[in-house]
Amino acid sequence: MAEIVQQRIEERIPELEQLERVGLFTKKEVKSIIKRATALEYKLHRLIVNKEDFIAYIQHIHYQFKREEIEFPIIHRINSIFRRATNKWKDDVQLWLSHVAFCKKWATKGQISKVFSAMLAIHPDKPALWIMAAKSELEDRNSSESARHLFLRALRFHPNNKKVYKEYFRMELLHCEKLRKQKEELEKAEMDLGEYEFAPEILNGKLAEVVYKDKRKNIFKNTNYTEDSFTWDFMAKRELEAPGAGAELQSAKGRASDINRREERCCQVYEEGIKSLNTEPMWTCYVAFCLERVKRKTNVQELKEKRQGRILSVLQRAHDSSLLKEDYYKNWLQILLSSGDAEGAASVAMAATQRFSQSVSVWSLSLQTLIQLGSGDVSRLFQDALTLVNPKESLPLWQQQVQWSMANQSPEETEAVFKRGLLSAVAAVAMEMKQRYLDWSYHTGGYKKARKTFTRLWTFLCVFQETPKMNYLRDYYERALQEFGTSDDDLWLQYIQEELGPLGQPENCGKIHWRAMKFLEGESVQRFTSKYTLHQTGHL
């Protein structure tokens, strides 16, 4: 054993000397490393070996520097120790995956393939490892051929595994899309494509289609693989690539007619998908397709109308099935409003609030639509919305209601909205309402109304809290002083009195007095000085 240990240590000496030469370690540190490595090597050659000893040795060798002249031998040595460990503990999948992770980190791509190959020879019964290995070939080594080969081998071991088929199918689609983008970029750069091979069958997704069709009998039928909206979506969009009639394509109207037929064929596939799979993801694929087509520009009015009629029909049916995603109600309303269908838009707005009664965004959008159309009892709807949504999320609705009330209701009704907002248990809502209430009071009733509102807010604060929070009071005073501080000597004096009270900070009074003398003008200065003196001497 001693001879083997000595041999392994001697193998390491050149790389350690190189570490010393490039200045990464001192001579003393190198001696320490050799001593530690010797102890670890002895542990690895005992009769009873622990997996933890291999891990410790790997961690001991590992370093954080990337110097070309020393990188390769150290990485090679760590890989060697990993191989010794996985040979000893073949069943430990986590150990294998640690080796894979190391290879990925240090970009030893060729080694990754070898590790996966060795691991799959021991663990062919684990579909997830086959999928992981195939993805590594595609993503880390950019080899679709190797990935395809691994998937085909995986299917020999797991001929009825849905996940393997699905990932194989997805891989072929991704590969197809990648090749298309590469071809487009080369064509844009006006490069000669002669040296590149872009087989039309692959670009058109034929390989993915083969995976789908060849295995549909074995797997899809028996295991309901058609319960996958991704598959239906792919097969539907393939209909867009069907060849059209050559003569017909000479005119704009002919081309539009051909496009419409292709889109109709796509919809037929989606309809089959809906029959088999009446779920939200399936309807989402269908709606997304129709939306994408309706957004395409065309000068042929007939095609525009066909597309609009199609999307409105699909949206309505998805809604009737209670399977239309929340986000699509906005698209639905936009289409109806742009086409001038006010009655339809109002109906959809109300339907959306019933379907998503606790969604702030849906209520906000629907109320905005109803306000724009002048439809419905908006005041009551705001109350319904604020009753149903989570109070902690309700601030946007309060802001929207205040805006609407100031523009459409009487001052008394708007004031009532503010007062309801003040009672909110949500601090952010109450604070927003207080600030807006003060601003609104000043702009609608001037100085006197704002002072009255300020006094009312102060009283409200005292009544609805066991003790007034001084930070809130300071905020009110500061806001009031911004509006009236140049002329209202009583306001400055009240502020000082609050700071002298049990909840205030008397040391702030000097600063407030200095600011008052700086901002007050004319007779206000004399009145403030007199009252302040009387207050200081206890006569006020």
Which residue numbers in the chain have pLDDT < 70? 1-27, 29-30, 33-34, 36-72, 107-109, 183, 185-227, 242-250, 447-448, 450-451, 455, 458-469, 472, 539-540
CA distance 231 to 218: 16
Closest CA to 384 of 359, 413, 415: 359
CA distance 270 to 287: 10
Neighbours of 369 (CB within 10 A): 24
DSSP character at residue 507: G
Q: Spell out the residues 6+ positions from residue 473 whose beta carbon is closer than 8 angstroms to its own.
A: 458, 461, 498, 503
The CA distances from residue 538 to 403, 511, 531, 532, 534, in Å, are 47, 21, 10, 10, 6
pLDDT digits (tens, 9 = 90+) for 152-179: 888 888 888 888 888 888 888 777 777 7
Amino acid 66: pLDDT = 41
- For 389, the 3-state DSSP assignment is coil
Buried b / exposed e across 311-320, counting CB within 10 Å, b at 16+? bbebbeebbe
Q: How is residue 18 written in tokens?
A: 């190189």
Asked if 409 and 403 count as a contact pair (C-beta separation under 8 A), the reply is no
Q: How many residues are present in the chain? A: 540
Q: How many helices (H) and strands (E) does the chain have?
A: 27, 0
CA distance 266 to 287: 12
Amino acid 192: pLDDT = 53
CA distance 303 to 54: 69
Asked if 230 and 270 count as a contact pair (C-beta separation under 8 A), the reply is no
CA distance 329 to 332: 5
DSSP character at residue 392: G
User: Looking up tokens 């100085």, which residue turns up?
Assistant: 447
- For 131, the 3-state DSSP assignment is helix
Asked if 371 and 378 count as a contact pair (C-beta separation under 8 A), the reply is yes
Amino acid 255: pLDDT = 84
Closest CA to 216 of 266, 162, 167: 162
Asked if 499 and 511 count as a contact pair (C-beta separation under 8 A), the reply is no
Asked if 231 and 277 count as a contact pair (C-beta separation under 8 A), the reply is no
DSSP character at residue 300: -
User: Looking up tokens 């997830």, which residue turns up?
Assistant: 128
Phi, psi of 442 (to 5 degrees): -70, -45
State the pTM of this model: 0.52
Burial class (CB in 10 A: 0-12, 13-18, 19+), 118: middle
SS3 string of 201-270? HHHCCHHHHHHHHHHHHHHHHHHCCCCCHHHHHHHHHHHHHCCCCCHHHHCHHHHHHHHHHHHHHHHHHH
- For 90, the 3-state DSSP assignment is coil
CA distance 443 to 446: 6
Counting Cα atoms < 13 Å in the Cβ hemisphere of 302 gives: 10
For the chain, domain boundaries: 124-223
Closest CA to 460 of 419, 499, 492, 490: 419
Amino acid 223: pLDDT = 46
Amino acid 250: pLDDT = 64
Asked if 232 and 245 count as a contact pair (C-beta separation under 8 A), the reply is no
